[in-house]
Every structure is written in C-alpha cells, then in structure tokens.
Chains A and B, each alone.
Chain A
Amino acid sequence: GENVEQHPSTLSVQEGDSAVIKCTYSDSASNYFPWYKQELGKRPQLIIDIRSNVGEKKDQRIAVTLNKTAKHFSLHITETQPEDSAVYFCAVHNYGQNFVFGPGTRLSVLP
C-alpha cells in the first residue's frame, strides 16, 4: 500500500519568514496531492492541492510543487503570519483508493 512520509515533524519560523514542508510517497500511480491545515480542536481543511499533470500551483502566499519522478511534493508558505500556526498534513490519493495522510508537521510562527 501507499506509504507517505512528511518532514519536518515540527517547524518554528519567525513571522515573515518562509516555511517549507516536504512529503514523499511510494506509489507511482498516485495522482492527487492535497494539503490540509488543522488548527487545535478543529477539522482538517484543504489549503491547496495539486494533480499529477501539473508541476506547481500557487494561491497567494501558499504554493505546492510536485516532482512525480522523485515522488515528492512540497508545501511552501511565504510571509508567514501567526495565524499560519497549525498542524499541516499532506495526503496522497489514487483512483479508487482512500486518502493516505502523512504524519503531520506542527508549524509555529513566532511573532
């Protein structure tokens, strides 16, 4: 089955700096890669996603890059703000399969 690794497990950055979180996966047939943000006590919410036919996608301060050959994808957050502090989960999906989540990264943005 699919195996998803995520690094780092914790990340602290100063407000205004950039944050990068990387996920690797094992199944080359996987073709959809969402990122979820989960604040304490709340539900996971999609912040950005990318499909396998695209190498990069950007939405304001958030971007995702995908390297299908190397089987990894990364979340980039620029100009971080305290409200970006949360746990971020990457996920991997393949047709007919379930979403497999990475173990999560706890991001702390220090004012």
Chain B
Amino acid sequence: DTEVTQTPKHLVMGMTNKKSLKCEQHMGHRAMYWYKQKAKKPPELMFVYSYEKLSINESVPSRFSPECPNSSLLNLHLHALQPEDSALYLCASSRGTTENTEAFFGQGTRLTVV
C-alpha cells in the first residue's frame, strides 16, 4: 500500500464553521506533512510531524490546528477561516525527516471558504 488517503476531497465551509481534514497512511512512515497549494503555485509547507510530534510549524495562523492521533493519522482542524484560505490542502508522508526518500502525497482536499 503506497497510498496517502485524504478526506474529504472537497469541502465548502463558512467563515464561522469548524471542520476537520483527515489524512491516513499505512506505509509505516514516521514523518507526515500538511501543505497548502494555491493555483499555479508550489506546495507551501504548513506543518511537519515527526514520530507523532510537531517538529515544524511554519508560522501558520492559529485558525489551523494540526493533530497527529497516531503514527498513521494526521488531522487538520479548521476554525474561523477566511476566504483567502481557500486552496488545495495536501497531506504527505515520508519514511522520516532524516531519511532521503520521497514524500508521497495524498490527492488533496479542495477547500472553499465562503
């Protein structure tokens, strides 16, 4: 199984809503990532979890709250988002942050904030 699975595929939410994005992998990877991607731009790192601990937070606003319940799951909790937060949110995993191996990406959640 070389899949990273993200749910939902699409999400429309209002600025006062609370929602969560979910990501799952069963490759035994110990590093998991959240990226934000705007149209015609590269993925932009938001958070890195290494061995279920938050290791990198790229100065992301607190309305985005990551959670890593176990080594296979990664969540991104969303609250009070702004329209400019509309983007494709990509989850990725790799064997580890200290290993030079590829990052596998999920298919993403296309988020629209209205």
Contacts and interface: CB of A to CB of B under 8 A. Distances in A.
Given A43-B106, A44-B105, A101 B97 contact: no
Q: Is the interface of B mostly helix, strand, loop or mixed?
A: loop
Contact of B100 (A32, A42, A46, A102): A32
A51 B99 CA distance: 11
Contacts of B105: 36, 43-45
B97 A104 contact: no
Given A43-B106, A99-B45, A51 B97 contact: no
A42 B98 contact: no
A1 to B, nearest CB: 10
B110 to A, nearest CB: 8
Interface residues of B, number: 20
Interface in A77-97: 87, 89, 91, 93, 95-97
Contact of B43 (A34, A44, A93, A95): A44
Contact of A98 (B56, B101, B102): B56
A93 B107 contact: no
Contact-residue bracket for chain A = 20 to 34
Given A43-B107, A98-B97, A34 B102 contact: yes
B108 interface: yes
Given A42-B107, A44-B105, A93 B42 contact: no
Given A43-B107, A44-B90, A101 B43 contact: yes
Nearest to A50: B100
B108 A43 contact: yes
Interface of A: 31-32, 34, 36, 42-46, 49, 51, 87, 89, 91, 93, 95-104, 106
Interface of B: 33, 40-43, 45, 48, 56, 90, 97-98, 100-108
